Amino acid sequence: MPTITSTDDTYKKLVAENKLVLVDFWAPWCSPCKTLTPILETIAQNYKELKVLKHNIDDFPNVATAENIRSIPTLYLYKDGKQVETIIGALPEIQIVNIIKKHL
C-alpha cells in the first residue's frame, strides 16, 4: 500500500482507525526528509498491516504543533491508537523496520 497523506483534519481519524500507523512529519525543503521518502514507500509496500502517513508540517502545521514536533524528520509509531515509538532523523531502513517489527 502506498503512503497516505495526512492533514490536520484526517490525522486523528487515520491513527484511530488503523492498528499500526507510522507517521512521518516532514517538509518539502528538508533534505533528510527527501532521503526518507523512498524508504518509507518501500516499508509501506512490504508491511501491509502498517499504514504509513506523510504529514507535511508546512501545509498542515496544527498537528505538528500539538504533537510538539521540534525537528524533522520525526516519525511516530502508533499501535492501537497509542504512540509507542518516536524516531528522530533519517535512519536507515533496517533500523526503522526493526523498530516496527517489535510491534507487529
Neighbours of 82 (CB within 10 A): 8
Name the catalytic one among 4, 20, 27, 30: 30
> Pairing mode, if any, of strands 74-79 and 50-56?
unpaired
Is 33 among the residues known to form the active site?
A: yes
Name the catalytic one among 15, 33, 53, 72: 33
Smallest CA-to-CA distance from 22 within 89, 79, 98 is with 79
Is 56 among the residues known to form the active site?
A: no
- Tell me the one-letter amino acid at 50: L
Q: Number of C-alpha atoms within 13 angstroms, CB side, residue 29?
A: 4
Q: Which residues are catalytic?
A: 30, 33
